[in-house]
Amino acid sequence: MNGITTARPDAAPAAPSRPRRRARRSTLTRASGVGLGLAVVWFSLLVLIPLAAVVIAAAEGGWDTFVGTITDGDTAAAIRLTVVEAALVTVVNVVMGTVIAWVLVRDTFPGKRVLEVVIDLPFALPTIVAGLVLLSLYGPDSPVGVNLVNSRQGIFLALLFVTLPFVVRTVQPVLLELDADVEEAAASLGASRATTFRRIILPALAPAITAGASLAFARAISEFGSLVLIAGNQPRNTEVASLKILKYIEGDQQAAAASVAVLLLLVAVLVIVALDLISRRVAARG
């Protein structure tokens, strides 16, 4: 096929237009302007102002209180435990959530409908109930003889339990929308199933997986209800950040509590941004 050219088709393009540039000019009409205003007010009242208040509360204690709090041995341990556990749980969720979504979308088996509903249970259960469920199975009176109370494994398990649906539920609809054609095209070009998954399917799923992972991570670093019962709350061992904040507030140390809160906030923002960057990378790579 070397050096072949065909006659120019009539549909042949003229000169390509410049790459589209995103319009900077506002496209707001009066109605959408009102809508935007409402959204901003709502968002401010619910999110921005309280967030700012926390930051101010942390700042009121001064820089020394902030540094002092987060470098305090117990607190630093609690924050480290929280972030590490949340990161691990997120990694497990990314893998397992994608697998579960895959099975739910691509396979047909008896009991599929039931599984679909069960997946959402951790969403639906009040977290304290989730803690109770775990306690009854893996607590001191465990019927299976496994006692995870007062252990990091217990925290890990509780976090896995409450974050299970996030990745599954974000990946599932995207997977449903994927064209079978595209995978067949990759196969006809010689790509194995694994290569097709890595180069074609994964990039398409990446934004959904990231969204799910962000949600799971955010939920994991903030988890409280299910941990109250199972974590045991021992400083430097099983005390997580949210419980540490509670302890500060109970001890009337508002500024310290706010300091921990601000740090958690920063971590959450950093992780969400990092995940987004990774997702863009994967989506563009192929």
Partner 1 sequence: MSIEISNVNKYFGDFAALTDIDLTIPTGQLTALLGPSGGGKSTLLRVIAGLEEADSGTVTIEGADATALPVQKRNVGFVFQHYAAFKHLSVRRNIAFGLEIRKRPRAEIDAKVEELLELVHLTAWAERKPAQLSGGQRQRMALARALAIEPSVLLLDEPFGALDAKVRKELRDWLRRLHDEVHVTTVFVTHDQEEALEVADQIVVINEGRIEQVGTPDDLYDRPASEFVLGFLGPVTRLGGDLIRPHDIEISRYEQAATATGPITRWTRVGFEVRLEITPDDVLHPDPVQVALTRTEARALDLHLGDQVWLRPAVGAQTVTT
Contact positions vs partner 1 (CB under 8 A)? 1-13, 15-16, 20, 179, 181-182, 184-192, 195, 199-200, 203-204, 283-284, 286
Nearer to partner 1, 31 or 284 (CB): 284
Closer Cβ to partner 1, 8 or 30, answer by number: 8
Minimum CB distance to partner 1 smaller for 50 or for 286: 286
d(C-alpha 6, C-alpha 268), whole Å: 56
Comparing CB distances to partner 1, the nearer of 120 and 184 is: 184
> Shortest Cβ distance from residue 176 to partner 1 (Å)?
16
Taking the complex as a whole, the smallest distance from the CB of residue 172 to partner 1 amounts, in Å, to 19
Q: How far is the CB of 14 from partner 1 (least distance, A)?
A: 9
Nearest CB to partner 1, comparing residues 98 and 233 = 98
Return the residue matching tokens 């790579």: 285
Rounded to the nearest whole angstrom, what is the least distance from the CB of residue 180 to partner 1 in the complex?
A: 9
* Nearer CB in complex with partner 1: 80/199: 199
The whole-angstrom separation of Cα 191 and Cα 197 is 9
CB of 62 to partner 1, least distance (A): 49
Query: From the CB of 10, what's the least distance to partner 1, in Å?
Result: 5
